[in-house]
Structure 1
């Protein structure tokens, strides 16, 4: 009979995520996760098989969280251009300070290198585009594909903030996207 797990996978994935932020995927080893989690390396090997499988499972778990958060924020969003801005502002609030934002780029690197996770990211973008399109559905003169334009502006705003991280990222995003929406309305 198998022994019950003392630590849920989610807790282990949080340790893996933190290690990836600090050191990149190269810094994730069974030994480093064991040190963080208090579990033995052998237990981790039994549970996940290989380092690649552990990292992949942690990344899939992170995607599940982002997809759920996006779904929840999109459902709550007012169906208006301002609702679109606030939706993206809320998604930006979890990025933290510049160091956290930069460290998360190490994780994005792994998503971009894995075809399955890259496809998951593309599907997430399409979900986000559809939610933003809904926010503009009743807006006269809204350009076709406005949701995709908003996503591109949002990602651009995040990058611009990264080079001049004065103030909170979510406030920077809101101000940048409000200017974009005003430009669309002209």
Structure 2
């Protein structure tokens, strides 16, 4: 198969993310990416300079996607506690089975190691918390910072599901978040 003459950075990074999720962060090399995308390793080195730069660029692209998805779901969420639950259930879609979820934790490890990626995670926490706060804006009895509390509950429910992955992650998350809302805002 002839090599493509051009491939956008966006497409290259999408392929790089696929490799990271498929085989783990350490499997992303210029050689493995070259095989996957059809560009030469030298071309990839010219674009991304170092393996660390390539990995960071791929993970920053993933953060960009998550930011856009969070913004879209936040904009369309009902301004109710149920809307907040649905937003987080929708963000949980796509984790797949436990093996895929566990591989995702390896990606998270990379985010925690890199200060630039860690800052993106902190910024996303603020973005997600604000979107969730908006869902509770008309709920007079909602505690201050409910968005961050609920996002923390969501992250915990994902982890607990990972230890005992019975059923779909979305169902586990929804049950957990509904119990959380009922505990905070009994009807």
Calculate the TM-score normalised by the size of structure 1.
0.93
TM-superposed deviation, 1:21: 2.3
Q: Show the counterpart of 1:117.
A: 117
Please show how residues 87-126 of structure 1 align to structure 2 within 5 Å. Answer: 87-126=87-126
TM-superposed deviation, 1:54: 1.0
Instruction: Describe the SS at the equivalent of 2:178.
Output: helix
Q: Show the counterpart of 1:60.
A: 60
Q: Distance in 1 between matches of 2:165 and 2:5?
A: 42
RMSD between superposed Cα atoms in Å: 1.4
Mean alpha-carbon deviation: is it higher for 61-70 or for 27-36?
27-36
Please show how residues 1-186 of structure 1 align to structure 2 within 5 Å. Answer: 6-186=6-186
TM-superposed deviation, 1:5: 5.2
Mean alpha-carbon deviation: is it higher for 74-83 or for 94-103?
94-103
Mean alpha-carbon deviation: is it higher for 99-108 or for 81-90?
99-108
Unaligned runs of 5+ in 2: none
Unaligned runs of 5+ in 1: none
Calculate the TM-score normalised by the size of structure 2.
0.93
Deviation above 6 Å: which 4+ runs of structure 1? none
Describe the superposition over 1:135-158 as per-residue Cα deviations: whole angstroms up to 9, x where unpaired. 111112111111111011000100
Q: Distance in 1 between matches of 2:165 and 2:155?
A: 14
- The number of aligned residues is 183
Q: Distance in 2 between matches of 1:5 and 1:56?
A: 24
Instruction: Describe the SS at the equivalent of 1:166.
Output: coil
Q: Distance in 2 between matches of 1:141 and 1:13?
A: 44
Instruction: Describe the SS at the equivalent of 2:94.
Output: helix
Q: Distance in 2 between matches of 1:75 and 1:112?
A: 28
Q: Distance in 2 between matches of 1:168 and 1:7?
A: 36
Q: Distance in 1 between matches of 2:182 and 2:95?
A: 25
Instruction: Describe the SS at the equivalent of 1:72.
Output: helix
